[in-house]
Structure 1
């Protein structure tokens, strides 16, 4: 991140309604081994979150109702609505009958550019490209990332292993994604959870900017697959290495390659696969197999 000044995030507006709980207990009928039983399960909440800029609604995303200000800040940055936290004058959060409004006020010059290319995003869970009117906008190049970070395979695996115990909401529900920022000597410094993988990453970007992390020193850890928009958002975060549980798409690989990002995926306890810029992973101590493996 090139600008680590803390944005002017304001207190929430007076609320007549309580903030929604991120999870709730629901009744269910369980069928296991031909045995039927009554019980309950904790499931994550989905709440419509309207993101407005200077009074104009830009997007309504289905999200977990936590870390809304961080979500709004990260969304504004990763979507290119603002270039730096200082461009945001204020962020207010208001709980209303139908959901949550995140009200951002941005500098007038940013608003003019935003209005010129405004696109509607009516986002169902996990969908980061709904309503994009321009195909070029959907596949826009990611920002170029430069960093001198080099990690060992053990450090990649340690970061992924450290994420699981921190996922409190996922422990309750087994139904949410996480995005985390980790540094090799400090472990995980920030983590966000959400029903949408894009939302979790936007929240993390907001947290990283607010805390002023030098993200060139660490890596991004994801519990989801890596699609192109995840790489695009990761490039705004500024980390040179992504480690993800699931596989990437072909377009995500091409985008990471062009952006200078090392993309590690299919991370398991016994190893992972590197798809781009392997020079950031110290493989000298690992045994290299030259046989072709499909």
Structure 2
């Protein structure tokens, strides 16, 4: 596959007033239109590659599909991906069809709340060191190391130990591609967890909940709304996971050895639903 990086001549300047010609490697962005059941549904700007995974993951995060089997046909052509579903599901529609680096971020928060994504059940846990190690892999993304201009997502199956690292100019796009990989590979989202390089606001938590991924971790911070959403949704939310520590904002039960299970979940409630 052709690399999404272009070499360009620039000028590198220094504090002492000197400068010199420099060949830099810059990330390319491309537009993509998502067509679902014959109707244009979203237009995004993303990093070239894994367009099929992006489409699957985007639809799964918005509950428009629940598995790869819900897709009767998926075809790619330059600048467009067409999806035909076996069973139409209303799910969560995009707010607008316009170019953006994060299509699912265009979802109206009212639609997310109206979808009533049920809380996720606590069904597994993993060691602190295992989660820490996966988050550390975010810095190993080849495009990130080369250009510094992408977001990175790593999705891991707790039952098979399989993992997938993907990069994209948009943080939501990277997550969509990771979720799409899980669907394509037939993995159970409830048995997976996700590490991301960006912050953890409510829309990112809703994305994980829509995909039924119960643990979301980042090297960056959560927002207050993100924590509220995680506590309501039964999502283990972890931020600042680096240098031997991490902030656990919600549902610590999925990390082995943490005391007082449920102490920072939603008061008076417990995740009871198998999925959402």
Give the shorter-chain TM-score range. Answer: 0.7 to 0.9
Answer yes or no: is 1:124 the counterpart of 2:100: yes
Cα shift readout 1:30-65 (whole Å, capped 9, x = no counterpart): 112222111121111111110011221110011001
Indicate which of 218, 240, 243 corresponds to 1:266. Answer: 240
1:199 paired with 2:182, answer no
Inter-CA distance 258–118: structure 2 relative to 1 (3 Å threshold): closer
1:150 aligns with 2:125: yes
Tell me, what secondary structure is at the counterpart of 2:40? strand
Equivalence map 1:1-294=2 (5 Å): 21-34=3-16, 35-95=18-78, 100-107=79-86, 110=88, 113=90, 119-126=95-102, 128-130=104-106, 132=107, 135-140=109-114, 141-165=116-140, 167-183=141-157, 189-283=163-257
- Partners in 1 of 2:214 and 2:50 — Cα distance? 25
2-side partners of 1:27 and 1:156: how far apart? 40
Q: Secondary structure at the match of 1:150?
A: coil
TM-score using structure 1 length: 0.79
Tell me if the contact between 2:216 and 2:238 (Cα under 8 Å) persists in the aligned partners: yes
* Secondary structure of residue in 2 paired with 1:129: helix
- Scaled by the length of structure 2, the TM-score of the pair is 0.83
1:148, CA displacement in angstroms?
Answer: 2.2
Corresponding residue of 2:272: none
SS in 1 for 2:198: coil
The number of residues matched between the two structures is 257
| Structure-2 separation of matches of 1:32 and 1:138 | 48
Any stretches of 5+ residues in structure 2 without a counterpart?
260-276
Q: CA contact under 8 A between 1:263 and 1:276: conserved in structure 2?
A: yes
Residues in 1 aligned to 2:102 and 2:111: alpha-carbon distance in whole angstroms: 18
How far apart are the structure 2 equivalents of 1:63 and 1:213? 24
Residue pair 2:122, 2:253 contacting (<8 A) in 1 also? no
**d(CA) in 2 for partners of 1:156, 1:270:** 11
Residues 142/28 of structure 1: CA separation in 2 closer, same or farther (3 Å cut):
farther
- Provide the rounded CA distance (Å) in 1 between the counterparts of 2:244 and 2:236: 19
Distance 1:118 1:197, change over 3 A: closer
Alpha carbons 2:155, 2:178 under 8 Å: kept: yes
Shift of 1:182: 2.2
Measured after TM superposition, the shift of residue 187 of structure 1 is 5.4
3-state SS of paired residue (2:208):
helix
